């Protein structure tokens, strides 16, 4: 899979490419990451790529010429399969695992366009970008960190990259549930032990405990996930049994009996 990153700071993305799952995906030939710096398409002798906004206001905007030149080059280099051009901005749709999973499964080339300063000239978005995405309700200095998140999240989903494929299947959010707690040696640390069931050798009980803990963690911390994937009858029973004192409704809209 090919991912092109349009950025004024390609060294940031290059640093991420040398680590962890992204490096593994690149070394195994599953992923290619290429950087395109809009300064290389600037007509200014000082390689300027920004200017003041029409109508006044704070900050500077990325000019359409240099950025569009970098995007066009990335699209041309993508090969026969047309790439999806994605810009990162606070106005974009919320980026989540469903989007990442779809991109990784289709292995469609991506062109990730990173904003800087006060953002893009709107004409860049109108003429070159297919879709805008946001990492969340926060403002970053630029889109490079979001691009690195996307590259990493996709890399670990590509075939043969993660050593144990089951670990990807059991990640948080994969079934719209958070992960269960994990424990390793030593069995006691600072007076804190490990749940006895995990040392019981009873795989059925261990699986049940993990499923229950994942459910309860989701209910306490991210009940909004139940909107997309409501609790099953078994999960409802577990929630009614363990639900926090003082709560009179479990996620999914069913009243508790406490």
Q: What's 246's domain CATH number? A: 1.10.1270.20
For residue range 168-217, list pLDDT tens digits in order: 655 545 578 888 899 999 999 999 999 999 999 999 999 999 999 989 99
Identify whether 163 is part of a domain: no
* Rama region for 191: left / alpha / beta (φ>0; ψ in -120 to 50; rest): left
161 within 8 A of 24, measured Cβ to Cβ? yes
Residue among 145, 5, 169, 166 at smallest CA distance from 71: 5
pTM of the model: 0.82
Q: Which residues are catalytic?
A: 90, 118, 156, 171
What's the count of helices (H) and strands (E) in the chain, helices before strands?
10, 9
Residue 161 domain-assigned? no
* 181 secondary structure, DSSP code: P
d(CA 92, CA 216): 31
Residues 142 and 189 in one domain: no
pLDDT tens digits, one per residue of 79-116: 999 999 999 999 999 999 999 999 999 999 999 999 99
- At 179 the pLDDT is 86
Task: Answer for the pair 60, 52: CB distance below 8 angstroms, yes or no.
Answer: yes
Can you tell me the mean pLDDT for 116-127? Answer: 95
Of residues 88 and 246, which shows the higher confidence score? 88
Q: How confident is the model over 121-125, as a mean pLDDT? A: 96
Q: Is residue 165 part of a domain?
A: no
Q: Which domain holds residue 121?
A: 2-155
In angstroms, rounded to a whole number, what is the distance separating the alpha carbons of residues 194 and 60? 54
């Amino acid at each position: 899979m090919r991912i092109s990153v349009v950025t004024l700071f390609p060294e940031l993305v290059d640093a991420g490419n040398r680590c962890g799952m992204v490096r593994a995906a690149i070394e195994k030939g599953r992923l290619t990451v290429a950087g395109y710096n809009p300064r290389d398409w600037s007509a200014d002798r000082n390689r300027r790529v920004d200017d003041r906004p029409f109508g006044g206001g704070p900050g500077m905007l990325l000019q359409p010429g240099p950025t569009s030149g970098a995007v066009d080059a990335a699209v041309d280099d993508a090969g026969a399969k047309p790439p999806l051009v994605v810009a990162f901005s606070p106005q974009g749709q919320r980026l989540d695992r469903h989007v990442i999973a779809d991109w990784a499964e289709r292995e469609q080339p991506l062109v990730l366009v990173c904003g800087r300063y006060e953002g893009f000239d709107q004409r860049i978005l109108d003429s070159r970008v297919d879709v805008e995405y946001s990492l969340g309700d926060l403002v970053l200095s630029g889109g490079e960190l979001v691009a690195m998140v996307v590259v990493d999240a996709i890399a670990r989903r590509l075939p043969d990259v993660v050593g144990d494929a089951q670990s990807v299947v059991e990640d948080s959010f994969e079934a719209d549930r958070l992960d269960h707690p994990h424990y390793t040696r030593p069995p006691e640390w600072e007076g804190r032990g490990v749940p006895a069931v995990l040392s019981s050798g009873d795989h059925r009980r261990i699986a049940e405990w993990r499923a229950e803990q994942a459910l309860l963690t989701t209910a306490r911390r991210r009940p909004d996930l139940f909107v997309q994937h409501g609790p099953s009858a078994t999960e409802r029973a577990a929630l009614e049994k363990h639900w926090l004192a003082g709560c009179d409704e479990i996620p999914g809209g069913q009243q508790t009996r406490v």
